[in-house]
């Protein structure tokens, strides 16, 4: 069997690319669906076994997806260097146009499906790494929950389009084989016979434009249905502003935890801080006080955000806020916020060291502490620290200005 294509048959290289891509897709589509189902069950139960199983399946799914992307690029580059055998029914205008349109859809989907999944993986934080030695990120793709959510939605849209195009492609091949009794399918099989193309062949421009139009309709429909609305860190009603001696101008409140051996960082999008601070301490040695209220549903924690909101973890529906109230004191080692941290209805005394830089009526501060999630009844069903670490780092940095009066 020749390696290259001819005017009437496909070469061995083209056939290998075709069937290798088909095998990877037919394995990866159901694998992704099963992994998602197990992942949802793991989020609901917090089961160590289910979390580990979901992570394993997602890693296989992602690694296979990268393989699909590489094979698809190889197939496209090879196709550009080869003559393409003509259609055996090119004189049937509608069938020829439909076949070419589906081919363009398949070429696009073979690249867009794995690429969108890869962008989602690179932009989010979470578990289930790609099994290869070249890192988990992508050039020009930031760690962003908004980017991650859009990429995840695009991935779903592209998967649905791929599934539809595959169904049409398979149906067309079976029609040629069973009804038309021609060599369309056989010439793609190993050792298959050549087929004589019809004298009339469709052009490439109209099917290409048709495929673009279908992509536009699919993406427009998804947008009209609200699929692209970002949801990360936006749950619940916004907290009301509180009076404060210092007005926070900008700041971040984050948590860090290890899941499946990887560090996951999350940020709270909605929190308030009522701060009083004076350079001179009062009679009890306090420079001031702070009361922080955090909206738990505003947490963005990558691919495990929804899991974190569940009853097994933060139980955000019953406990929508966490609070930290403390006195601000100066010690020999620096500033410390001594007070009480309340999460999920559990209150514990804590000390949070922090750095403070004052410049007239402006201040910059950062600090943090580490707590054990079990002290607050979080993730009690997940007892293996390899699945979910016990220690959770809480950190902040902010800038504030003194409120006159």
Mean pLDDT of the region 49-78: 94
Same domain, 345 and 300: yes
pTM for this one?
Answer: 0.78
Closest to 84 (Cα-Cα) out of 98, 104, 113, 109: 104
* Residue 105: how many other CB atoms lie within 10 Å: 24
Q: What is the pLDDT of residues 119-140, one digit of tens each?
A: 999 998 767 889 999 988 999 9
Give the total number of structural domains in the chain: 2
Which DSSP helix (H) or strand (E) runs through 348?
A: strand 346-359
Same domain, 99 and 143: yes
Counting residues of the chain whose pLDDT is more than 90, the rounded percentage is 73
* Long-range pairs for 54-61: beta carbons < 8 A, 24 or more residues apart: 54/128, 55/127, 55/128, 55/260, 56/128, 57/31, 58/127, 58/128, 59/128, 59/129, 59/130, 59/131, 60/31, 60/35, 60/131, 61/28, 61/31, 61/32, 61/35
Mean pLDDT of the region 345-358: 96
Closest to 304 (Cα-Cα) out of 346, 341, 262: 262
Same domain, 155 and 189: yes
The reply to whether 4 falls in a domain is no
Closest to 89 (Cα-Cα) out of 228, 168, 215, 195: 195
- Report phi then psi at 134, rounded to 5: -105, 20
Burial of residue 128 (number of CB atoms within 10 Å: 0-12, 13-18, 19+)? buried
The reply to whether 137 falls in a domain is yes
Same domain, 250 and 280: yes
Same domain, 42 and 104: yes
DSSP states along 244-269: -SEEEEEEEEEEEEEETTEEEEEEES
Same domain, 210 and 275: no
Closest to 26 (Cα-Cα) out of 14, 36, 18: 18
* Residues of the domain holding 304: 246-402
Greater confidence (195 vs 116) lies with 116
The reply to whether 380 falls in a domain is yes
State how far the Cα of 192 lies from the Cα of 176, in Å rounded to an integer.
Answer: 14
Mean pLDDT of the region 113-122: 96
Same domain, 217 and 264: no
Closest to 115 (Cα-Cα) out of 73, 59, 170: 73
Mean pLDDT taken over the chain: 91
CATH number for 28: 1.20.950
pLDDT of residue 71: 97
Same domain, 254 and 164: no
Helices then strands, counting H and E runs in the chain, come out as 6, 10
The reply to whether 234 falls in a domain is no
First to last CA, the chain: 88
State how far the Cα of 213 lies from the Cα of 43, in Å rounded to an integer.
Answer: 38
The reply to whether 192 falls in a domain is yes
pLDDT of residue 238: 87
Same domain, 266 and 180: no
Q: What is the pLDDT of residues 254-298, one digit of tens each?
A: 999 988 777 888 999 999 999 999 989 988 889 999 999 999 999
State how far the Cα of 241 lies from the Cα of 236, in Å rounded to an integer.
Answer: 15
Same domain, 175 and 256: no
Same domain, 187 and 308: no
State how far the Cα of 120 lies from the Cα of 137, in Å rounded to an integer.
Answer: 10
Closest to 138 (Cα-Cα) out of 162, 168, 117, 154: 117
Instruction: Compute CA 74 distance to the chain's CA centroid, rounded to the nearest angstrom.
Output: 26
The reply to whether 30 falls in a domain is yes
Same domain, 64 and 127: yes
Task: Give yes or no for residue 233 having a pLDDT over 60.
Answer: no
Closest to 375 (Cα-Cα) out of 387, 395, 394, 392: 392
Classify the C-alpha dihedral 337-340-342-348 as positive or negative: positive
pLDDT of residue 98: 95
């Amino acid at each position: 069997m020749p390696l290259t294509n001819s005017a009437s048959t496909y070469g061995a290289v083209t056939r290998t690319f075709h069937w290798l891509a088909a095998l990877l897709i037919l394995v990866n589509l159901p694998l992704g669906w099963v992994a998602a189902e197990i992942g949802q069950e793991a989020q609901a139960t917090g089961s160590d076994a289910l979390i580990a199983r979901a992570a394993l399946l997602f890693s296989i799914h992602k690694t296979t997806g990268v393989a699909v992307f590489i094979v698809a690029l190889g197939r496209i580059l090879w196709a550009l260097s080869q003559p393409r055998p003509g259609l055996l029914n090119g004189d049937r205008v509608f069938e020829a146009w439909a076949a070419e349109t589906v081919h363009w859809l398949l070429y696009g989907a073979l690249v867009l499906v794995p690429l969108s999944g890869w962008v989602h993986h690179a932009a989010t934080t979470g578990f289930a790494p790609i099994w290869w030695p070249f890192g988990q990120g992508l050039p020009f793709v930031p760690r962003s929950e908004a980017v991650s959510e859009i990429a995840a939605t695009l991935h779903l849209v592209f998967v649905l389009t791929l599934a539809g195009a595959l169904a049409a492609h398979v149906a067309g091949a079976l029609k040629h084989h069973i009804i038309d009794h021609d060599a369309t399918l056989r010439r793609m099989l190993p050792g298959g016979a050549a087929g004589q193309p019809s004298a009339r062949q469709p052009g490439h421009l109209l099917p290409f434009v048709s495929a673009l139009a279908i992509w536009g309709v699919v993406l427009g429909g998804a947008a009209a249905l609200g699929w692209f609305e970002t949801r990360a860190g936006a749950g619940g009603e916004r907290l009301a502003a509180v009076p404060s001696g210092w007005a926070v101008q900008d700041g971040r409140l984050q948590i860090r935890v290890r899941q499946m051996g990887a560090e996951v960082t999350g940020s709270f999008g909605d929190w308030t801080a009522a701060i009083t601070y004076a350079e001179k301490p009062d009679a009890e040695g306090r420079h001031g006080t702070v009361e922080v209220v955090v909206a738990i549903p505003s947490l963005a924690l990558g691919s495990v955000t929804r899991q974190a909101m569940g009853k097994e973890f933060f139980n955000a529906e019953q406990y929508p806020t966490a609070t930290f109230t403390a006195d601000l004191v100066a010690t020999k080692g620096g500033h410390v916020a001594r007070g009480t941290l309340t999460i999920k209805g559990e209150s514990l005394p804590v000390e949070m060291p922090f750095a403070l830089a004052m410049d007239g009526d402006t201040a910059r501060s950062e600090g943090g502490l580490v707590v054990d999630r079990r002290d607050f009844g979080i993730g009690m069903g997940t007892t293996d620290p390899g699945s979910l670490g016990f220690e959770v780092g809480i950190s902040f940095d902010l800038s504030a200005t003194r409120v006159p009066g």
